Amino acid sequence: MKKNNRIVIVGGGSAGWMAAAALSNAFGATQQITLIESEAIGTVGVGEATIPAVKSFNKLLGIDEAEFLKTTQGTFKLGIQFENWGAQGDVYMHPFGLVGKDSWMANFQHFWLKAKRMGVAKSYFDYSLNIRTAKANKCMIDPNSGLDYAYHFDAGLYAAYLRKYSEARGVKRIEGFIESVQTRDDGFIESVKLQAGDIIAGELFIDCSGFRALLIEHTLHTGFEDWSHWLPCDRALAVQTESVGEPIPYTRSIAHSAGWQWRIPLQHRVGNGLVYCSRYSSDEDAKKLLLENVEGEVRTEPRLIKFRTGRALKQWNKNCIAIGLSSGFLEPLESTSLHLIQTGIVRLIRMFPGDAINQTEIDEYNRQSRYEYERIRDFIILHYHVTQRSDSAFWNYCRSMSIPETLARKIAVYKNTTSVFKEQDELFHEGSWQQVMLGQGITPTAYHPVVDKLSDEELVKLMNSIENEHNQYLARFPSHQQFINHYCKAIAPG
């Protein structure tokens, strides 16, 4: 690989345009970037909730946050509220940011547990500023607000925004349906041929063709590791509704008898969907359930999306890198797909081939991708497995299924010690694991001995000080809607 290589991106969904934006930003005119997309096929059209790391992707692209939110009709996301997961009627929130105050020796839950036993603590979740702010439907983003956040945005507007960004940086877009892919004798991809007859050749191909996996699977036969025995949901129905009231600053995830429903509030509408398992629910029943449980007037016909959970055995094979749904799919439950796209692109830029494509680099890329996928996989399985629900065959399956050894170990350590130990470079921090385990009904047993170093009075003082500090923040935060209005006000209509 030298200067002026031809990079061909196949697909113009969020993955394709995120790749085009980041690569054009990173390499400028030193690489020729072409993106091919087919309007006839369209995009998956979902993927509207993110996690805080998305901010670093925007920063890397030099995107102005207020302009971004205005253009994509975005809202702020402070966490995800899980309803009916541990048991029917249960509600907890997995917030971004810290809960309480950690010590390097023991995380906050240990201090909380002793205070709780003394009868001087509220619910663990009441010590999260993010949760208290979300529940009050407030928001405030500045370096001193104490909040961590991500966004909800309109997927179509997001791709359009990145397209404009990329085209301004020299990315060439071709509209057309790819009908065949040509390979060289050594199996590397040489070119793709459009239905209209054009042949687009390149040195590096980025497969962003979505679930079709046109290059990585259909051409290179890379293979797929199926995880549907752990993540059995295989279908989703997506529908948009009109907003009723002001947007809330969090995603809702509501468990039903054979899956769960999302609600993502945007400035101009609400994104809704039902993720379910076709072994336990028919499409008709799922559609009925979804439509019975949305608020606001329905704007679109419910759209069926079929998927299989798992990952491509290699994310990089020969001169093809799969980014987005072509590289694998876990579950939208913790909004990790767009994040995996982001890390896949950043990893590619950091390992971008020099004079030639190097197999050791490919292997390292694949090793890191696999590790990342597996750690997120465990975290998502946790939500399904740690439940007391026994009201349906679906929940009976999830509760009693065997789980990966890596996850079983984490749960056992937590049950015995109330601690979680994050593995190196793992996406979800100890607090996230603890919040979901506690929120879904694992009762913590023992607290860390260092907690006893604090006298009872000191412990009470610590708990009160956290609460008082949060009260002060909350008193100055405006409503979420007021903050959006204020923040996006300075931006001229796009």
Q: Can you point out the beta strands (E) in 308-385?
A: 310-312, 316-317, 320-322, 328-329
What is the Cα–Cα distance from 67 to 153, expressed in whole angstroms?
A: 12
Residue 232: how many CB atoms within 10 A of its CB?
20
Cβ closest to ligand FAD, residue 48 vs residue 154: 48
What is the Cα–Cα distance from 437 to 476, expressed in whole angstroms?
A: 32
What is the Cα–Cα distance from 360 to 82, expressed in whole angstroms?
A: 42
- Residue 314 Cβ, how far from ligand FAD at the closest point, in Å? 17
Contact status, residue 365 vs residue 353, Cβ threshold 8 Å? no
Which residues would be at the binding site for ligand FAD (CB under 6 A)? 11-16, 36-38, 41-44, 46-50, 155, 177-178, 208-210, 212, 214, 236, 273, 275, 305, 307, 324-326, 332, 335, 337-338, 341
The CA dihedral of 13, 14, 17, 21, to the nearest 10 degrees, is 180
Helix 54-61 / helix 337-350 crossing angle, nearest 10 deg: 50
Contact status, residue 404 vs residue 230, Cβ threshold 8 Å? yes
Active-site entry in 70, 77, 114, 135: 77
Q: Please, what is the end-to-end C-alpha distance for the chain in angstroms?
A: 39
- Residue 394 Cβ, how far from ligand FAD at the closest point, in Å? 17
Q: Can you point out the beta strands (E) in 176-250?
A: 178-183, 189-194, 199-201, 204-207, 224-226, 235-241
29 phi/psi in degrees, rounded to 5: -80, 0
- Residue 493 Cβ, how far from ligand FAD at the closest point, in Å? 26
What is the Cα–Cα distance from 455 to 275, expressed in whole angstroms?
A: 48
Which SS3 state, helix, strand or coil, does residue 223 take? coil
Q: Which helix (H) or strand (E) holds 315?
A: none
Cβ closest to ligand FAD, residue 26 vs residue 274: 274
Helix 108-117 / helix 456-476 crossing angle, nearest 10 deg: 110
2 is catalytic: no
120-126: long-range contacts, CB 8 A cutoff, minimum separation 24: 120/459, 120/460, 120/463, 121/463, 122/467, 124/99, 124/100, 124/435, 124/438, 125/92, 125/93, 125/95, 125/99, 125/435, 125/439, 126/467
Which SS3 state, helix, strand or coil, does residue 437 take? helix
Local structure of residue 49 (DSSP, 8 states): B
Q: How far is CA 262 from the centre of its chain?
A: 13
Q: Which residues of 328-350 are buried (b: 16+ CB within 10 A; e: fewer)?
A: bbbbbbbbbbbbbbbbbbbbbee
- Residue 264 Cβ, how far from ligand FAD at the closest point, in Å? 7
The DSSP line for 74-111 is: -EEE-EEEEESSSSTT-EEEEESS-SS---SSS-HHHH
Looking at the annotation, which residues are catalytic?
A: 77
